[in-house]
Amino acid sequence: MSEDVFSDVTDVYEAMIDWQKRLANEGRFYRSLFDRVGVRSVADVACGTGRHAEMFHSWGLRVQGADISVNMIERARTNFGESNNLRWAVRSFDQPIQPSAPFDAVICTGNSLALASDMPTVERAVREMLAAVRGGGVVVLHVLNLWRLPDGPCVWQKCKRATLERGDVLIAKGVHRTGSSGYVDLIIASLDTSTTMQTESVPILGIEAEKLDQTLRNAGASSVRIFGNYQEQPYNRDSSVDLIAVAEK
């Protein structure tokens, strides 16, 4: 995965997401899972600006957040600091994690895994994640369920006005599917007198649940559960918004 996916939209990424709502929704899932598995240490291998990593750290866990984007990691370090129990690293999700001691959990959330260039890269990333957790530990993968989208038209997900360092902007984010491939579409339109507009369209992989399950098992998972959302409802290829895999080693 290239570092210049979406070029540098760190500030846009932060502005697009209602983090309080998102972490409240996902936090209950991770709390329950981590309590059951006995998690005390976590690696977030595509951590973005570090919001999940900081949430886990606030629970008293030892956390490492890593991302391929230098700017994302610098934002995380600036926002949340760094300590013995909260570390940041610049690293792609398919590179070796090499912890000094195995983690209890590794997560890759927010559709990051689907940004891989191809399935062999996904398989390599999954192997590295499984290799970094202890026996009995857990790996959580979350991607968009591309198959619920219509073939062709863009489904616009967000349209938001925000004030960034560059000025007032209108941000629109959508996703569309073309056959077995998908694209994340982003429009950033300046609202000042310059009326400039930045557009991005980044390819994402359509990952099948069965393929993800088999990839995890081939990498050493002893069990895999597949869900359609963070409320742990059953995955349905035609209707689920999310594809979430929980693999125990």
Q: Helix crossing, 51-58 with 19-37: angle to 10°?
A: 50
Q: Which segments in the chain show pLDDT lower than 70?
A: 1-8, 193-195
Give the separation between CA 187 and CA 65, rounded to whole angstroms.
28
- pLDDT for 5 equals 43
pTM for this entry: 0.93
User: Which SS3 state, helix, strand or coil, does residue 77 take?
Assistant: helix
- pLDDT for 73 equals 96
- pLDDT for 195 equals 64
- pLDDT for 214 equals 98
Task: Name residues whose C-beta falls within 8 Å of residue 198's C-beta, 6 or more positions apart in sequence.
Answer: 186, 187, 188, 189
Amino acid letter, 97: I
Residue 131's nearest CA partner among 106, 112, 148, 152 is 106
Signed CA dihedral, 116, 118, 121, 127: sign only: positive
Give the separation between CA 72 and CA 70, rounded to whole angstroms.
6
- pLDDT for 36 equals 97
